[in-house]
């Protein structure tokens, strides 16, 4: 790909930094009896605090979700893919790619620091990336797997050499740059750092040496709640300022609330039924395609997900800059589904003398983790649609540990998942590339592999677009899963805060840019 350079240090979305002047609360007391009045005294104001209510998934550690979410504002990588899939600068201020695509030079921000006050220099970045390369998680980052060496020629530079041209490198360099300390948690670089934790609460404080300026929201408190309903009640009582996630059933009641602003965005996950492509009849593309035509996705989105999703028919991120919207998707065509099953010689109805099941073309078991009620409702809708074309999908809810174990052991007919596909094609690469260790589904398709390799090794935007489109088309033909819907998340924030964020994006990433509604922002460079 031609030489690429990130332009300047001005962040996307028009970032804002805090006001440096302190706020004071003036308390004046007047004497009721004779004698001198008490002089008014200036007292430092309490820190501006944002309290976040986080509903807890049944069976989880109450703070599990808070710990995961808090890393989005306490850790950063060299880059961060934008909503359209283009890499944006973070700890790396600029970068250039050699003409042959084998060498990348990253210039680091000179004012970036770890939370312990040490500088984010070339040696620290090199050490962090090398630790990432040594972990088992490397299989999830094919761009990092392309790296053959990392050098730190100067304090403010990092040189990365790759084995072959890799468009996935910039995407996957979003991996967190951390400082390791023996016996202690890793140290990040983000706008907030951990201050304390208790059984149901996690407290963070603003990092005063953050390279874009100390945030105006000086303190963040994460509180866990057993359900969305109890979290919403906490917001109405003034216990929290930010409801992390609104369920589809609650959004219609929350939106009219005058004191609350609601922000909705597409999640980088989608619902789907993934087949074990090594098992009959899912080893045949005609059967997999037939089941896709049996699903009424629009009805599923409107009735089951209450409109809080977008119908999907493939594994690629629809907002990606290379996505071709002209590529068709699966329509709801039960008659076509039946025709494909007939052509595949799947008997119309089969019932043995000892069978207690209703007659069907074939029966299969779809694994589902327990205590995921939304997933179960979506799976039931799929079950009903498949029954209309004579296919019996049995839903088996199992403990989450067993669910993961059976996937790892390839012990399943099909599984229901909300799986990541993200704004980078490196994610579908890890899921569907034949030789990927993350491909647990036994899916193999030489044409899909060629397209994915084409994306990964593209030398120009035109090559990238052509390969991306080829993967879209081949995914439609081979149908490795029943792709159902891309979920939406809605977050609610009290209007006493001004939220700064791009439209249709996750506001959590921009908390460092928010400010109290009664104050004024100051632009950063």
Q: Nearest Cα to 248, choosing from 302, 319, 317? A: 302
CA distances to 294, 335, 380, 414, 507 from 331, in Å: 9, 11, 19, 22, 33
Per the model's pLDDT, the better-predicted residue between 397 and 226 turns out to be 397
The verdict on 502 and 373 lying in the same domain is: no
3-state secondary structure of 373: helix
Residue 359 in this model has a pLDDT that exceeds 70: yes
Which two tokens mark 509? Answer: 């990433």
Give the Cα separation of 154 and 158 in Å (integer). 7
185 pairs with which residues across the strands?
Answer: none
Residue 9 in this model has a pLDDT that exceeds 60: no
Last residue within a domain, chosen from 131, 154, 183: 183
The verdict on 248 and 393 lying in the same domain is: no
The verdict on 357 and 230 lying in the same domain is: no
> Any idea which residue has 């006493």 for tokens?
496
Q: What confidence tens digit (pLDDT) does each residue in 78-95 have?
A: 999 999 999 999 999 999
- Quote the pLDDT of residue 522: 55
- Quote the pLDDT of residue 36: 42
Concatenated DSSP letters for 301-335?
A: IIIISTT-EEE--SSS-TTSTT--TTS------HH
The verdict on 481 and 500 lying in the same domain is: no
* Domain residue limits at 413: 267-487
The verdict on 93 and 117 lying in the same domain is: yes
The verdict on 160 and 237 lying in the same domain is: no
Whether 156 maps to a domain, the answer reads: yes
Residue 488: CB atoms within 10 Å: 20
Concatenated DSSP letters for 7-74?
A: --SPPTT--EE---SPPEEEE----SSSSPPPPPEEEEPPPPEEEEEEEPPTTS-TTHHHHHHHHHHH
Give the Cα separation of 50 and 97 in Å (integer). 41
Q: CB-based contacts of 35: which residues, under 8 Å, 6+ apart?
A: none
The verdict on 275 and 241 lying in the same domain is: no
Average pLDDT over residues 151-161: 98
Which two tokens mark 253? Answer: 């009641």
- Quote the pLDDT of residue 60: 56
Last residue within a domain, chosen from 125, 157, 183: 183
Whether 10 maps to a domain, the answer reads: no
Average pLDDT along the chain: 87
Whether 27 maps to a domain, the answer reads: no
Pairing type for strands 179-181 and 147-151 reads unpaired
Class of residue 170 by CB neighbours under 10 A (exposed 0-12, middle 13-18, buried 19+):
buried
Last residue within a domain, chosen from 135, 159, 183: 183
Band (pLDDT 50/70/90 cuts) for residue 7 is very low
8-state DSSP, 300: I
Pairing type for strands 147-151 and 157-162 reads antiparallel
Task: Please state which of the ranges 34-38, 68-72, 371-375 shows the lowest mean pLDDT.
Answer: 34-38
Cβ-contact 524, 213 below 8 angstroms: yes
Q: Dihedrals φ, ψ of 243, to 5°?
A: -90, 115
The verdict on 358 and 452 lying in the same domain is: yes
> Any idea which residue has 């907002």 for tokens?
319
- Quote the pLDDT of residue 12: 33
* CA dihedral sign, ordered 291, 293, 298, 299: negative
Residue 13 φ/ψ region, left for φ over 0, alpha for ψ in the -120 to 50 degree band, beta for the rest: left
The verdict on 298 and 437 lying in the same domain is: yes
- Quote the pLDDT of residue 57: 61
How many residues are there in the chain? 525
Average pLDDT over residues 462-467: 98
Band (pLDDT 50/70/90 cuts) for residue 523 is very low
- Quote the pLDDT of residue 182: 83
Give the Cα separation of 300 and 375 in Å (integer). 12
The verdict on 378 and 514 lying in the same domain is: no
Q: Model-level pTM?
A: 0.86
Looking at residue 365, which CATH number applies to its domain? 3.10.105.10
CA-angle at 300, arms to 294 and 304, nearest 5°: 145
Alpha helices in 142-227 (DSSP H): 142-145, 168-172
Average pLDDT over residues 23-46: 42
- Quote the pLDDT of residue 63: 67
Looking at residue 128, which CATH number applies to its domain? 3.90.76.10
Question: What is the percent of the chain with per-residue pLDDT over 90, rounded to a whole number?
Answer: 71
Residue 385: CB atoms within 10 Å: 23
Residue 151: CB atoms within 10 Å: 15
- Quote the pLDDT of residue 10: 36
Angle between helical axes of 446-456 and 461-478 (0-180°, round to 10): 160
The verdict on 351 and 293 lying in the same domain is: yes
Give the Cα separation of 112 and 209 in Å (integer). 8
- Quote the pLDDT of residue 228: 82
CA-angle at 522, arms to 520 and 525, nearest 5°: 165
Cβ-contact 229, 381 below 8 angstroms: no
Whether 112 maps to a domain, the answer reads: yes
Average pLDDT over residues 431-438: 94
Give the Cα separation of 197 and 209 in Å (integer). 22
Q: How many domains does the chain have?
A: 3
Whether 34 maps to a domain, the answer reads: no
The verdict on 223 and 316 lying in the same domain is: no
Looking at residue 255, which CATH number applies to its domain? 3.40.190.10
Q: CB-based contacts of 182: which residues, under 8 Å, 6+ apart?
A: none
Band (pLDDT 50/70/90 cuts) for residue 67 is confident
């Amino acid at each position: 790909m031609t030489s690429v350079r990130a332009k300047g240090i001005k962040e996307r979305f028009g970032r804002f930094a805090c006001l440096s002047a302190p706020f004071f609360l003036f308390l004046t007391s007047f004497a009721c009896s004779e004698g001198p009045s008490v002089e008014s005294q200036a007292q430092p104001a309490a820190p501006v605090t944002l309290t976040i209510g986080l509903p807890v998934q049944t069976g989880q550690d109450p703070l599990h979700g808070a710990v995961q979410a808090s890393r989005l504002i306490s850790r950063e990588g060299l880059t961060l893919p934008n909503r359209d899939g283009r890499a944006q600068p973070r700890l790396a201020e600029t970068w250039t790619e050699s003409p042959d695509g084998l060498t990348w030079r990253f210039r680091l921000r000179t004012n970036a620091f770890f939370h312990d006050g040490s500088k984010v220099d070339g040696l620290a970045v090199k050490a962090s990336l090398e630790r990432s390369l040594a972990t088992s998680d490397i299989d999830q980052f094919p761009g990092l797997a392309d790296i053959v060496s990392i050098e730190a020629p100067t304090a403010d530079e990092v040189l990365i050499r790759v084995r072959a041209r890799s468009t996935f490198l910039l995407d996957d360099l979003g991996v967190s740059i951390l400082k390791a300390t023996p016996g202690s948690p890793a140290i990040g670089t983000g706008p907030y750092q951990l201050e304390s934790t208790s059984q149901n609460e996690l407290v963070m404080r603003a990092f005063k040496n953050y390279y874009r300026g100390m945030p105006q929201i000086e303190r963040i408190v994460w509180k866990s709640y057993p359900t969305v309903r109890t979290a919403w009640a906490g917001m109405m009582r003034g216990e929290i300022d930010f409801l992390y996630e609104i369920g589809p059933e609650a959004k219609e009641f929350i939106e009219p609330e005058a004191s609350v602003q609601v922000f909705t965005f597409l999640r980088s996950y989608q619902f789907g039924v993934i087949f074990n492509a090594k098992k009959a009849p899912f080893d045949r593309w005609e059967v997999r395609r037939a089941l896709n035509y049996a699903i009424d996705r629009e009805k599923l989105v409107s009735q089951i997900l209450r409109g809080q999703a977008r119908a999907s028919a493939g594994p690629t991120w629809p907002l990606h800059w290379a996505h071709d919207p002209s590529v068709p998707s699966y329509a709801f065509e039960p008659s076509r589904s039946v025709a494909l099953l007939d052509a595949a010689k799947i008997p119309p109805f089969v019932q043995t003398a000892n069978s207690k099941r209703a007659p069907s073309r074939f029966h299969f078991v779809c694994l589902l983790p327990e205590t995921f009620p939304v997933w179960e409702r979506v799976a039931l809708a799929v079950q009903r649609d498949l029954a209309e074309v004579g296919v019996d999908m049995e839903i088996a809810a199992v403990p989450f540990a067993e669910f993961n174990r059976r996937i790892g052991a390839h012990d399943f007919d099909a599984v229901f998942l909300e799986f990541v596909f993200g704004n980078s094609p490196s994610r579908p690469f890890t899921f569907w590339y034949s030789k990927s260790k993350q491909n647990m589904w036994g899916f193999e398709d030489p044409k899909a592999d060629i397209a994915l390799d084409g994306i990964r090794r593209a030398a120009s935007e035109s090559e990238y677009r052509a390969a991306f489109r080829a993967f879209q088309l081949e995914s439609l033909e081979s149908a490795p899963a029943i792709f159902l819907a891309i979920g939406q998340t809605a977050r609610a924030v009290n209007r006493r805060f001004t939220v700064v964020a791009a439209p249709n994006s996750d506001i959590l990433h921009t908390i460092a840019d928010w400010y109290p509604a009664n104050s004024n922002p100051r632009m950063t460079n």
